[in-house]
A = this chain, B = another copy of it.
Amino acid sequence: MIAGTSFVWDGAALQPDGVISALDRGVLFGDGIYETIRGYNGVLFQLEAHLDRMAQGLRVLQMPVEPTIAQVREALAQLEPLDQGQDLRLRVTVTRGVGGQPWELYQTTGPSIALQCRVLPRLCDILPKVGCSATISDVRRNETSPLSRIKSLNCLDNLLARSQAQAAGFDDVLFLNTADRVVEASTSNLFIVAGKAIFTPPVEEGLLPGITREVVMELAHVTQRPLIAEDLFQADEIFLTNSISEIVPLTHLDGNPIGTGDPGPVTASLYATYRKMTQGT
């Protein structure tokens, strides 16, 4: 796999420097889904879980699960093997393709599949050690929308809120839902540590069922329950999870330290266990 490359699957081969039609519904309406997968030392971590989630997204969008997932597998099989010793980020994008009135979901040419691969920035391995800060967004996550629970191409709320947070000096942004309950960060799920207990909001609150979230729930005893902002400020530790940056302590929220204000022991221990798992040891 060559970092910095972008391919489009033409049905038989990967076309480098891929382009897609300006009429593709991915361009016109953000009509599609994606996955971002981290590759460790030549292996795509949790690939099957990512493809399962993609299948669930296809169902929500009323796109055919098969042959779409089979086509994604064919495309992935044609990537060069990952370089050993280099961690990479792979993005798989699937759009509905070309055709139909906006609300006509079935009259298209079939999906467009694009792959992008790049070397991970070093920051990804620093963040779990130093932690990050966040602010709570004024924009609510809309838990009434099925989009809140899939990884669709409708990403603008996340982009704009995180950009605004960074301009104000924060690393990331947290979202509440329309019922004032805590949901997730711009590209991560959220967990809190309170004493010996670990809590995370359930998917019904309007959040993406993260692959790393799932792994963490296998590695530790986690209780899913609705959380409010007050729970965050009173937590001993908070950590954010996603497939690329893994497990990152959230040490400051809206200027207030969480717990001691330093990365905490429960998060560090989980991160160490997770890292071993990714290294296949």
Chain A residues with CB under 8 Å of chain B are: 6-8, 17-24, 26-31, 34, 60-62, 91, 93, 95, 102-105, 114, 116, 138-140, 142, 144-147, 152-160, 162-163, 166, 178, 186-187
Interface residues of A, dominant DSSP:
mixed
8 nearest interchain CB pairs? Answer: A30-B30, A154-B154, A29-B155, A103-B162, A22-B114, A19-B19, A142-B142, A18-B22
Whether A30 pairs with B147 at a CB distance below 8 angstroms is no
Most buried by B among A7, A102, A116, A140: A102
Give chain B residues whose Cβ lies under 8 Å from the Cβ of A7: 22
Indicate whether A29 sits within 8 Å of B28 (C-beta atoms), given known contacts A139-B146, A187-B102: no
Q: Closest B-chain residue to A106, C-beta based?
A: B163
Whether B93 pairs with A27 at a CB distance below 8 angstroms is yes
Give chain B residues whose Cβ lies under 8 Å from the Cβ of A186: 103
CA distance in complex: A134, B19 (Å): 38
Give chain B residues whose Cβ lies under 8 Å from the Cβ of A160: 60-62, 105, 146-147
Which of B153, B156, B157, B178 is the one whose CB lies under 8 Å from A178? Answer: B178
Give chain B residues whose Cβ lies under 8 Å from the Cβ of A61: 156, 160
Whether A166 pairs with B103 at a CB distance below 8 angstroms is yes
Whether B142 pairs with A140 at a CB distance below 8 angstroms is yes
Whether A30 pairs with B153 at a CB distance below 8 angstroms is yes
Give chain B residues whose Cβ lies under 8 Å from the Cβ of A26: 27
Whether A156 pairs with B154 at a CB distance below 8 angstroms is yes
Q: Closest B-chain residue to A21, C-beta based?
A: B19
Give chain B residues whose Cβ lies under 8 Å from the Cβ of A163: 62, 103-105
Give chain B residues whose Cβ lies under 8 Å from the Cβ of A95: 27
Q: List 24 A-B contacts (CB under 8 A).
A: A6-B22, A19-B21, A19-B22, A20-B22, A22-B114, A22-B116, A23-B116, A24-B27, A26-B27, A27-B114, A27-B153, A28-B34, A28-B91, A28-B155, A29-B30, A102-B155, A103-B158, A103-B163, A140-B144, A140-B178, A142-B178, A146-B160, A147-B156, A154-B154
Give chain B residues whose Cβ lies under 8 Å from the Cβ of A60: 160
CA distance in complex: A34, B23 (Å): 13
Q: Closest B-chain residue to A157, C-beta based?
A: B145
